[in-house]
Structure 1
Amino acid sequence: MHKKTDLVVVGYGAAGIAAAITAARAGAKVALLEKQSADTHFSSSRMSGGLIMGANDVDGATRYLDQCADGMIQTEINRAWAERAVRVREWLESVGIKSVHMAGAWYPKFDGYDSIEVLAPLPKGTEPEDVEIELPKPGELTFKFPLPFGNGALLHDLLLEAVAKEPNIEACFEHEATKLIQDGSRVIGIECKTPDGEVTIDSRYGVVLSCGGYEKNQDMILNYLKAYPIYFYGSEANTGDGIRMAQSAGADLWHMNQMIGRGVGHFKHPDGWETTMGMSLNPPGYVILDKYGERFANEHLQAVSKPNFYYELLKYDADRLEYPRIPSYWIFDKRRLEARPLAHGGIGYYPWSKDNRTEIDLGWIKEADTVEEVARLAGVDDPEAAAQSINAYNEYCQSKEDPFGRPEDSLVPIDQPPYYCVKIYPGGATTNGGPRRDAHARILNAHREPIPGLFGAGELGGAIGLLYPSPGSNLGEAIAFGEMAAETAIRDGSQ
């Protein structure tokens, strides 16, 4: 089958939707392709927390993003993002989504920190003034998931409603993009596989790739990331398709070793399937130990969902010739178990039990009357050292002074049996690497020249470097570069 359109957008998440709506409102006909079916459409956006990074000052946000990127992203690209970030609330309202300021940036020590404002979408009929928000402490994310009023599933549904109102957008499910079509170096269309056979789509303005990262491609994980194993929750559809297509068209790649990382739980069910979950250490009364039963970092960073804790898990021991923190071991007591679920799920995730008992029965949470025994059951190499580490931690709780720098209010003793242990692995939501792009969302070749007719947005080569700037950075970046990609495609294609 052969079709024609003005712009092809590959990937039906926030980035693709922003690109499609922007192009459609400029008068372009858009084919919005998604390889999943409508019934199993679990984009990264839908499975996210639903928060969106915005900003209140372009210069301040640019400085802050520069420091987070640590040289991996050029200043002109960070500025292009910041210029969109100050208007993201306006863009959301333009597609019928109201939002509320929910949190700030992760790193208060960086200049421009206070220029970042994290937004949460509101259900229809809810006004911002109807919602009471107590902003978290600087650099923390202290509210609980799922949010009481907004999350990724809500954002996804609201964005799909916005797409449905645009007559110029044709949403094409079960269209797996396989190859870019080029005339010389210019991208002029795409080939797809569908249940009805192969489809070729010619595109007047080219192709926007917004089809996610490679977090479900084990070969890419092994070859590009810094350790192994690393496990991801999120969309099963993100298998690096866009990266391979862009490479075939001559694209350069950047920061392929970067990801939105944190400690995660990875579990195997007796029926043979596996699942990865983000784990909720809070409320306090927790430590994380290495294979040898030793503490190694400030666990509070993981407890408040700060992505930089992930780097602590990647240490390689050159003497032992191993990664002693893969896995690590989260130890806690009865109080934490009974407080609330250990994992937050949502649309597309395993439905974790409210009292954690199902997961104890499955063997995912080990339980014992002593710390030494629970460490042994979990697989710690030196259970006695684990017990000594917990005793030392409890003494720090008494003195309110922790050698790893945990804040006082996080120092709650682990002293009420039974005791519990869960293995923690490096992992997270998404990868960041992919085809290199410029400040206009154009994908570049190995000579840093734009490939005509090829554009990128979202986590596929996302503009996020060493540190994840704030909660909602992925979605904020996706919307910003989705808009940008569509505008550039139409402008360049009209010349």
Structure 2
Amino acid sequence: MASLQSIKTWDLELDVAVVGFGVAGCVAAVEAVETRTDAKVAIFEKATEARCGGNSRVSGQALWIARPDQLEAVIAYQRKLNQPNPISEELLRTWAQALVELEPWIQAKAAEVGGDYSEGMGWTDLKTIVEFPELGAEEAIAYNSTIKPNPSGVWRTFRDHVLRRPEIALHYESPVVDLIQDPDSGEIFGVIVEQNGRRLAVRARGGVILACGGYEANAEMQRNYWGADRILPLGSPANTGDGVRMLQKAGAKLWHMRNFTQSSGNWPAIKVDGYDAAFLRAVVMPDGGWMEIGADHKRFYDEGYHHRLRHYHQDENGRWQDAPHWRTLPVHMIFDETTRTAGPIITSLMTWNTVVEGYEWSADNSAEVEKGWIVKADTIQDLARLIGRPEAALAEALAAYNAAAQGELPCPFGRDTASMRPLQGPFYAAELVPGVICSTGGGERNGKAQVIGQDGLPITGLYEAGELGSIFSNLYQNGAFLTEAMIFGRIAGREAALR
């Protein structure tokens, strides 16, 4: 915390300071200037212009749409998703009421900048992903929608709204490193921004809105708060917990730091040298010929199940848990020539390396074999030596998999034999790591998007939107993060502008 008394002069004076240029930050800034046309608003973005946008830029761009007559069903469904870590009924209802009224606003905003709002998600034939029907999803979701063109259609829509408003100042490569706070009252008066090698004191008369993402790219925070020895971001490498650190220094009450994989699931991913983020393994594999091997050199779950439809959460003994990859590392995916040539083993439409960094994965994975990202061997024994596995153990795992694929033995994990194909040499291996979409930990917030302090009261002048301090405290429904970013971005922008 930078003490208010330490500030001799203000380098910049604003009404609202927004930290972060994802959907939540864009919406907050736009709402602030639409609420008060004379409001002086600025967005401070940590990344460069080329690498800005946070996780919302590279997400699947799905939106959870619900009708007004589904209000009570939405509340009931989200209440069950949040168990066993509930949020207040007042906050839950505030969010749900905004959700069921949100679609016309999204449609209008898309039309204003030429975006193509449409039902469905644009990357799958599914109109709706109903993740947990047993908890009431079908009653709570009208459908999923998106804004095209994709990738990044939703984020680009709200980015364009910011860019067309000269009253919103946009500062790239300007990380906010501290909040300016009165040590006696706890009130937030502004931020310290690093810009061009200088530290600037920025006054925010109406308030500071933290929309700077989570801590998924911070390995130390992942170990300390979630307990993973290795988990990689699929989104922005800039999400290193800056907001969490500032909230701690400001005396905020933290919540949702240890959700099941930060609610969004740990997805099989491939990490290679030269890239800070991981590549998302294909959400639908191009061929059924593959198996996954854990630390004990054996298969450990049903690889062929449609885990993507539940954000890689699975029912274990009557409770929803994370998919087991993170607790059985190292993991290798083993496949053969037919699978190698069937199509890319990664997903290109989403995630940082393909959307922002612009890497084009080869159609038959051959370029990645050449790079050494995928290991090739003529025999399973040779492959075992190359990836550091015992030859006999890997050969035994292959024999058991092939027997199940041919229907000679039941699959111990219940994988449908229709989703399996026996493997034959040459063989390939890619190491899989858990990839996380975003984290939901941060400051507890109320229905006015105010951050709550350790005393249970709002910290005056401090607001929050987006994944930082998200209201989702356990399981996640597809399309919820972006709509939540819009809802609390609007609330925060409006509240700060009117303060």
Normalising by structure 2, we get a TM-score of: 0.84
Calculate the aligned-residue CA RMSD, in Å.
2.4
Distance 1:111 1:296 in 2: 30
**Could you say if the C-alpha distance between residues 65 and 405 of structure 1 is closer, same or farther in structure 2, counting changes exceeding 3 Å?**
farther
Where does residue 252 of structure 1 map in the other structure? 253
Residue 156, structure 1, aligned to residue 155, structure 2 = yes
Residue 59, structure 1, aligned to residue 72, structure 2 = yes
1:4-19 aligned within 5 A: 4-19=13-28
Count of equivalent residues = 452
**How far did residue 274 of structure 1 move?**
5.2
Residue 333, structure 1, aligned to residue 342, structure 2 = no
Distance 2:167 2:139 in 1: 39
Where does residue 203 of structure 2 map in the other structure? 202
1:364-403 aligned within 5 A: 364-380=373-389, 382-399=390-407, 402-403=411-412
Distance 2:176 2:279 in 1: 29
Where does residue 22 of structure 1 map in the other structure? 31
Residue 357, structure 1, aligned to residue 347, structure 2 = no
Q: Is the 8 A contact 1:313 1:425 kept in 2?
A: no
Q: Is the 8 A contact 2:232 2:277 kept in 1?
A: no
Residue 265, structure 1, aligned to residue 264, structure 2 = no
Q: Which residue identity does 1:335 align to in structure 2?
A: T
Q: Is the 8 A contact 1:63 1:111 kept in 2?
A: yes
**How far did residue 168 of structure 1 move?**
3.2
**Could you say if the C-alpha distance between residues 455 and 337 of structure 1 is closer, same or farther in structure 2, counting changes exceeding 3 Å?**
same
Give the SS at the match of 1:53.
Answer: strand
**Could you say if the C-alpha distance between residues 279 and 314 of structure 1 is closer, same or farther in structure 2, counting changes exceeding 3 Å?**
closer
Give unpaired runs (5+ residues) of structure 1: 124-149, 316-322
Where does residue 318 of structure 1 map in the other structure? none
Residue 115, structure 1, aligned to residue 140, structure 2 = yes
Distance 1:228 1:167 in 2: 45
**How far did residue 302 of structure 1 move?**
6.5
Q: Is the 8 A contact 1:266 1:275 kept in 2?
A: no
Where does residue 174 of structure 2 map in the other structure? 175
**Could you say if the C-alpha distance between residues 262 and 205 of structure 1 is closer, same or farther in structure 2, counting changes exceeding 3 Å?**
same
Distance 1:99 1:32 in 2: 29
**Could you say if the C-alpha distance between residues 17 and 390 of structure 1 is closer, same or farther in structure 2, counting changes exceeding 3 Å?**
same
**How far did residue 431 of structure 1 move?**
1.7
Where does residue 108 of structure 2 map in the other structure? 94
Distance 2:219 2:49 in 1: 25
Distance 1:84 1:394 in 2: 51
**Could you say if the C-alpha distance between residues 302 and 227 of structure 1 is closer, same or farther in structure 2, counting changes exceeding 3 Å?**
farther
Q: Is the 8 A contact 2:219 2:230 kept in 1?
A: no
Q: Which residue identity does 1:329 align to in structure 2?
A: H
| 1:476 aligned residue (465, 473, 483) | 483
Deviates more, 1:185-194 or 1:481-490: 481-490
CA displacement 1:77-104 (0-9 Å, x = unmatched): 3333322222333222222242323322
Distance 1:273 1:202 in 2: 36
Distance 1:76 1:333 in 2: 54
Distance 1:80 1:293 in 2: 49
Q: Which residue identity does 2:336 align to in structure 1?
A: D
CA displacement 1:443-471 (0-9 Å, x = unmatched): 1112322111111111111122222222x
Q: Is the 8 A contact 1:263 1:302 kept in 2?
A: no
Normalising by structure 1, we get a TM-score of: 0.84
**How far did residue 363 of structure 1 move?**
2.0
Distance 1:277 1:302 in 2: 19
| 2:322 aligned residue (304, 311, 334) | 311
Q: Which residue identity does 2:297 align to in structure 1?
A: G
Residue 413, structure 1, aligned to residue 425, structure 2 = no
| 1:37 aligned residue (38, 44, 48) | 48
Distance 1:364 1:434 in 2: 35
Distance 2:197 2:342 in 1: 51
Q: Is the 8 A contact 2:293 2:300 kept in 1?
A: yes
Deviates more, 1:185-194 or 1:346-355: 346-355
Where does residue 97 of structure 2 map in the other structure? 83
Give unpaired runs (5+ residues) of structure 2: 1-9, 122-127, 315-320, 349-353
**Could you say if the C-alpha distance between residues 476 and 370 of structure 1 is closer, same or farther in structure 2, counting changes exceeding 3 Å?**
farther
Distance 1:221 1:414 in 2: 37
Give the SS at the match of 2:265.
Answer: strand
Q: Is the 8 A contact 2:14 2:40 kept in 1?
A: yes
Where does residue 319 of structure 1 map in the other structure? none
Where does residue 457 of structure 2 map in the other structure? 449
**How far did residue 196 of structure 1 move?**
6.2
**Could you say if the C-alpha distance between residues 389 and 366 of structure 1 is closer, same or farther in structure 2, counting changes exceeding 3 Å?**
same
**Could you say if the C-alpha distance between residues 363 and 301 of structure 1 is closer, same or farther in structure 2, counting changes exceeding 3 Å?**
same
**How far did residue 392 of structure 1 move?**
2.8
**What percentage of aligned pairs have identical amino acids?**
32
| 1:298 aligned residue (298, 302, 309) | 302
Q: Is the 8 A contact 1:187 1:452 kept in 2?
A: yes
1:212-251 aligned within 5 A: 212-251=213-252
CA displacement 1:294-349 (0-9 Å, x = unmatched): 1221223466363326823367xxxxxxx5x1121212222221121111242224
Residue 343, structure 1, aligned to residue 346, structure 2 = yes
**How far did residue 178 of structure 1 move?**
1.6
Q: Is the 8 A contact 2:21 2:43 kept in 1?
A: yes
Distance 2:384 2:138 in 1: 40
Deviates more, 1:79-88 or 1:419-428: 79-88
Give the SS at the match of 2:475.
Answer: coil
Give the SS at the match of 1:178.
Answer: strand
**How far did residue 366 of structure 1 move?**
1.7
Give the SS at the match of 2:18.
Answer: strand
**Could you say if the C-alpha distance between residues 55 and 414 of structure 1 is closer, same or farther in structure 2, counting changes exceeding 3 Å?**
farther
Where does residue 127 of structure 1 map in the other structure? none
Q: Which residue identity does 1:445 align to in structure 2?
A: G
Residue 286, structure 1, aligned to residue 285, structure 2 = no
Q: Which residue identity does 1:77 align to in structure 2?
A: L
Distance 1:405 1:108 in 2: 21
Give the SS at the match of 1:205.
Answer: strand
